[in-house]
Amino acid sequence: MSHLMINLKALAVIASSTVILACGGGDGDNGGGSKASPTPTPAVTPAPNPQPARLSVTDLNIAADNNLESVYQVEVDVDISAISTEKAFISICDNTAANGDLAKLDFDMCLLKSSLVDGKGSFELRVANHCDELIAVIWIMEKGRAPLTYTLSHNNQKQTYWTIN
């Protein structure tokens, strides 16, 4: 019986070796299977960023009459005495965002808030260039009186005169 066991062990070793050798392990190209060969990945080199052109003051194209001021002056003369001499208040605000809609005006950010004496007043304002249009709202303290509104469009002048009557 020991002879039979030795033969069985030998047969098992041979069968195992055959299975291992049959499954691969050889480099021979026998067409039985396909081998994937790794493709080398080329190194990616980022393109260099182009250097921006350097500008200097001499590259600026500025009209001779432009003094590069960021504000303009507005002299306001108000005379509504023909309408009313009751107590009145005036607010002058940037009208760009509100476009005449009093509900959209931010009265906390107005350029001027003042009272009128007998319907009259004179004011000097420095206005930022980005304010293309101003709105004046005059509140007359009479029951049922709607506010009076006046607008002024900036005409790109260094100084503007605005008469409200």
Residue 143 lies in a domain: yes
Mean pLDDT computed over every residue of the chain = 83
With a cut of 90, say whether residue 40 has pLDDT above it. no
Query: Across residues 116-130, what is the average pLDDT?
Result: 96
Q: What is the pLDDT of residue 155?
A: 79
Chain Cα centroid distance, residue 39 = 45
Residue 139 backbone phi and psi in degrees, to 5:
-105, 110
Domain tally, the chain = 1
Average pLDDT of the residues in 2-21: 59
Q: Is residue 54 situated within a structural domain?
A: no
Domain that holds residue 92: 84-163
Q: Is residue 2 part of a domain?
A: no
Give residue 22's identity as a one-letter amino acid code: A
Region 16-24: mean pLDDT is: 57
CA of 114: how far to CAs of 12, 38, 100, 111, in Å? 110, 82, 20, 10
Predicted local distance difference test score (pLDDT) of residue 33: 56
DSSP strands (E only) in the chain: 71-79, 88-94, 112-116, 120-128, 133-140, 148-153, 159-164
Q: Compute the distance between CA of residue 17 and CA of residue 15 in angstroms, rounded to an integer.
A: 5
DSSP run (H or E) holding 1: none
Reported as a single tens digit per residue, the pLDDT across 73-114 is 999 999 999 999 999 999 999 999 999 999 999 999 999 999
Asked if residue 64 is part of any domain, the answer here is: no
**Could you tell me if residue 96 is inside a domain?**
yes
103 — phi, psi (to 5°)? -70, -25
Q: What amino acid occupies position 90?
A: I
- Average pLDDT of the residues in 116-142: 96
Q: What is the pLDDT of residue 101?
A: 94
For residue 124, the model assigns a pLDDT of 98
Please indicate whether residue 136 or residue 43 has the higher confidence score (pLDDT): 136
